[in-house]
């Protein structure tokens, strides 16, 4: 006899297609028991169910010490793939913080992670990095494999890839037998619902529980609800203002307009594909508006996800004539042109960090603002600052941390901004008048214009993988279509695949359309030159390809790159997925080889690690023998806003004057490598965050540029500037094809231990120099060098044709 436990209220059921409803039970059951307990009614009539099939298997709630390997082999072992609570890959404790799993893996390639506690809150990827990239294993034939996780040593090894460290098992464990009970079920209706029927009025009854409503979720992916028009949002057309919003689940939608202290309520008419439309016979420029969504569960007001301006609290969208936000000369502002993505030199800054310090010389009212980014001629001391410094340094693109409207709860506090709320609206806190949406937009455009006029492209750091908040009355996405925009499980829980609360469901056609439309809007309206995608690993390859194509239809020269990992959930776009898309990914192989680990005590080549010269060559040559088919696909870097700043990392491992040599060597390896160089803003002028790794909310005192301190590091900055100029002047240093690298870049032989050198055929690359050699000394000791017939053109202090000081680099030419 099945015990029924009553919960109030039970979760809703979900209409996931015209003929299927997903129901999660509070008490597990067999399919037969579920069929007897669950009834579907509409009004007083029973709705016939054709079949009931188990979905999510019931499992004992894992403890906080539960450890497993979620990944793509779980289904082969009788479980559910990428389930951190699934017992098919549960690891057995061995003592001493060590855990073991022995399993027979069928032939194939699998990806996986290590998780603890039955969820993604605590997970580990490659190199035991928390939330890191997926691990991968290739199984040539069905094989018994032993996995050993050691939390103390921070290692995860297996007998197939690490046979000397992990003994091969000889005895197979008893096969995993999932419970015959299931937690959720698919009800297949005997007759599919009509195309325009979203299950309104359907009720699910489970035993004596309170009736459950049926929420339209997956069914909205159907073509009947996929709107392809380009008129979502609001638009002023002469003396008329038109509105259109997509909200299939709503029974009624009202437009609420606020202007001159009055509110106007306008019933909206149901349109095609789940849209609602209204036209007001007035020019409503300057007015505020919301949508009021009503269904059989509740009534919710929210801003417009397609709105292009908003109040500072993000509760109201604002009607703005975007043409009137254009600064003088805006029409003449053009995209920055590149022949190849490898022509770019990326420089990462946060708008507030760059000029918030009085040492920036920026006028007080512009410090930390959009306009502060482009105030000309600032030089309060002996060196140029702000825009003048960027122009002097010679980078090609400024990578801006998020400037899309983010979590209003943080609008008055320091924050990096990875909490986007309204994606088509610039963040108001960087405006000179945060309460005026027109000024905010104009300031944003003036910043972009100023950077363009000084030869600098603008890359936006965008966060389309999640939104804040995800659910409830403050979320405009949730108000328009509850449960739809975000990844949810069978119970309706929002899945925290980003590590920050939720994950946008990019495979859904209307979610993908929104992201595509938003990126196209920014590219066209704000003349954006490129995008850096936060947690790109959360998207599918199809999504990434779609978005890249949409961006380049507007700006063919756009630089596009992103992080090939997630915040904890399954990685759908790991390194290698980018092949052939002209989309680059952050190369953590490069970072690991050159820098070492992110925040620990392991150093890489730039800190004196000798013995990995072959790995150094691999990453310097664009990782084309690792995961990239083109150097256009790899962003080479040793530091970014995440984790310890470059100087803070070096100071953890190296003391004394060698610190500067180490930092400069790391930057030289980035700039002189094949691929796209990416520089953490300020790393060349001694920027430090005081040893704080995740400084997202640590405030100005930790994060701001200290331009007075920069004076001390000016010689290093000058040499970095020379390297950037050298790279930009010589195509052999920025090849665009893997075939060129294989043909024109050769490893130099006969060098002393710790020296790594590349001999480049400049003539073959169409370079003005016949041959170019780049040499790095990754040892902390001086090394002899014989470069007879070569001429030194750039290098660390003390470098010559005969000697390479410890932790140094040099560039030579030969005609």
Question: Residue 293 belongs to what H/E stretch?
Answer: strand 288-294
Token pair of 65 as six digits: 């010490």
Token pair of 769 as six digits: 């120099």
Q: For the chain, what is the total number of helices (H) and then of strands (E)? A: 15, 43
Across the beta sheet with 38-42, the strand order is 45-47, 38-42, 202-206, 212-216, 13-17, 20-29, 182-189, 49-54
How far, in Å, CA of 577 to CA of 461, rounded? 20
Residue in 443, 471, 563, 664 annotated catalytic:
563
Is residue 563 among the annotated active site residues? yes
Q: 651-677 b/e with 16+ CB inside 10 Å = b?
A: bbbbeeebbbbbbbbbbbbbbbbbbbb
Q: How many residues does the chain have?
A: 815
How far, in Å, CA of 756 to CA of 771, rounded? 17
SS3 annotation, 571-634: CCCCCCCCCCCCCEEECHHHHHHHCECCCCCCECHHHCCCCCHHHHHHHHCCCCCCCCCCHHHE
How far, in Å, CA of 478 to CA of 474, rounded? 8
> CA 716 from chain center: how many Å?
31
Q: Is residue 443 helix, strand or coil? A: helix
Task: Please report, in angstroms and rounded to a whole number, the separation of the first and last CA atoms in the chain.
Answer: 89
Q: Are 82 and 89 in contact (CB under 8 A)?
A: no
How far, in Å, CA of 330 to CA of 325, rounded? 10
> CA 652 from chain center: how many Å?
28
Among 160, 166, 167, CA closest to 140: 160
217: left (phi over 0), alpha (psi -120 to 50) or beta: alpha
Question: Residue 710 belongs to what H/E stretch?
Answer: helix 707-710
SS3 annotation, 352-391: HHHHCCHHHCCCHHHCCCCHHHHCCCCCCCCCCCHHHHHH
Residue in 428, 534, 588, 613 annotated catalytic:
534
How far, in Å, CA of 717 to CA of 155, rounded? 38
Is residue 409 among the annotated active site residues? no
Q: Are 754 and 610 in contact (CB under 8 A)?
A: yes
Q: Which residues are identified as catalytic?
A: 534, 563
């Amino acid at each position: 006899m099945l015990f029924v436990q009553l919960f109030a209220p039970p979760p809703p059921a979900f209409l996931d297609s015209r003929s299927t409803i997903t129901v999660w039970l509070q008490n597990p059951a067999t399919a037969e028991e579920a069929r007897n307990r669950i009834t579907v009614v509409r009004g007083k009539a029973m709705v016939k169910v054709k079949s009931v099939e188990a979905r999510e298997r019931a499992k004992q709630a894992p403890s906080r010490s539960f450890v497993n390997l979620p990944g793509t082999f779980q289904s082969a072992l009788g479980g559910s793939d990428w389930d951190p609570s699934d017992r098919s890959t549960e690891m057995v404790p061995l003592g001493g913080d060590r855990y073991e799993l022995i399993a027979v893996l069928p032939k194939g390639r699998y990806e996986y992670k290590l998780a603890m506690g039955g969820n993604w809150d605590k997970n580990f990827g490659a190199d035991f990095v928390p939330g890191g990239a997926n691990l991968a294993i290739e199984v040539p034939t069905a094989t018994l494999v032993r996995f050993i996780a050691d939390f103390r040593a921070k290692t995860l090894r297996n007998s197939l890839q690490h046979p000397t460290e992990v003994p091969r098992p000889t005895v197979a464990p008893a096969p995993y037998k999932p419970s015959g009970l299931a937690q959720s079920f698919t009800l297949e209706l005997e007759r599919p619902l009509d195309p325009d029927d979203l299950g309104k009025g359907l009720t699910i009854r489970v035993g004596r529980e309170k009736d459950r409503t049926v929420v339209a979720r997956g069914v909205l992916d159907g073509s009947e609800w996929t709107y392809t028009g380009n008129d979502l949002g609001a638009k002023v057309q002469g003396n008329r203002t038109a509105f259109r919003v997509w909200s299939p689940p709503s029974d009624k939608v009202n437009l609420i307009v606020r202007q001159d202290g009055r509110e106007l309520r306008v019933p909206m008419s149901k349109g095609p594909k789940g849209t609602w439309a209204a036209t007001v016979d007035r020019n409503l420029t300057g007015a505020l508006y919301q949508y009021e969504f009503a269904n059989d569960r509740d009534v919710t007001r929210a801003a417009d996800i397609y709105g292009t301006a908003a109040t500072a609290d993000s509760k109201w969208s604002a009607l703005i004539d975007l043409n009137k936000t254009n600064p003088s000369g805006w029409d003449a502002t053009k995209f920055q042109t590149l022949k190849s993505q490898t022509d770019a030199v990326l420089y990462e800054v946060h708008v507030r960090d760059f000029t918030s310090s009085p040492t920036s010389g920026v006028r007080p009212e512009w410090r930390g603002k959009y306009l502060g980014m482009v105030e000309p001629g600032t030089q309060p001391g002996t060196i140029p600052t702000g825009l003048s410094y960027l122009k002097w340094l010679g980078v090609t693109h400024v990578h801006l941390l998020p400037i899309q409207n983010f979590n209003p709860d943080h609008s008055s506090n320091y924050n990096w901004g990875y909490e986007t709320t309204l994606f088509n609206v610039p963040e108001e806190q960087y405006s000179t008048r945060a309460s005026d949406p027109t000024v905010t937009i104009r300031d944003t455009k003036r910043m972009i214009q100023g950077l363009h006029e000084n030869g600098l492209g603008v890359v936006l750091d965008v966060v389309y993988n999640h939104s804040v908040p995800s659910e409830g009355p403050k979320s405009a996405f949730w108000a328009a279509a509850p449960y739809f925009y975000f990844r949810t499980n069978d119970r309706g829980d929002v899945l925290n695949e980003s590590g920050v609360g939720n994950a946008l469901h990019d495979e859904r056609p209307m979610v993908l359309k929104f992201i595509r439309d938003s990126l196209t809007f920014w590219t066209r309206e704000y003349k954006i030159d490129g995008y850096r995608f936060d947690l790109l690993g959360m998207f599918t390859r199809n999504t990434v390809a779609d978005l890249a194509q949409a961006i380049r239809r507007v700006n063919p020269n756009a630089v596009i790159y992103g992080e090939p990992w997630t915040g904890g959930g399954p990685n759908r776009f790991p390194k290698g997925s980018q092949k052939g898309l002209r989309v680059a990914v952050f190369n953590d192989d490069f970072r690991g080889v050159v820098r070492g680990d992110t925040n620990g005590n392991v150093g890489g080549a730039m800190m004196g690690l000798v013995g990995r010269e072959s790995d150094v060559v691999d990453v310097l040559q664009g990782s084309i023998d690792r995961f990239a088919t083109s150097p256009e696909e790899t962003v080479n870097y040793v530091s970014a806003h995440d984790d310890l700043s470059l100087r803070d990392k070096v100071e953890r491992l190296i003391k004394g004057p060698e610190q500067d040599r180490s930092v400069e060597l790391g930057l030289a390896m980035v700039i002189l490598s094949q691929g796209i160089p990416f520089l953490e803003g300020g790393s060349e002028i001694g920027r430090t965050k005081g040893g704080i790794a995740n400084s997202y909310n640590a405030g100005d005192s930790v994060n701001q540029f200290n331009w007075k301190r920069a004076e001390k590091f000016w010689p290093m900055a000058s040499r970095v500037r020379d390297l950037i100029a050298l790279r930009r002047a010589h195509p052999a240093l920025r090849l665009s094809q893997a075939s060129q690298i294989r043909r024109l870049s050769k490893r130099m032989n006969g060098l002393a231990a710790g020296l790594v050198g590349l001999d480049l055929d400049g003539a073959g690359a169409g370079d003005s120099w016949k041959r170019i050699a780049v040499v790095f000394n990754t040892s902390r000791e001086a090394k002899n060098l014989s470069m007879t017939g070569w001429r030194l053109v750039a290098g660390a202090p003390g470098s010559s044709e005969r000697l390479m000081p410890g932790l140094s680099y040099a560039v030579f030419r030969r005609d």
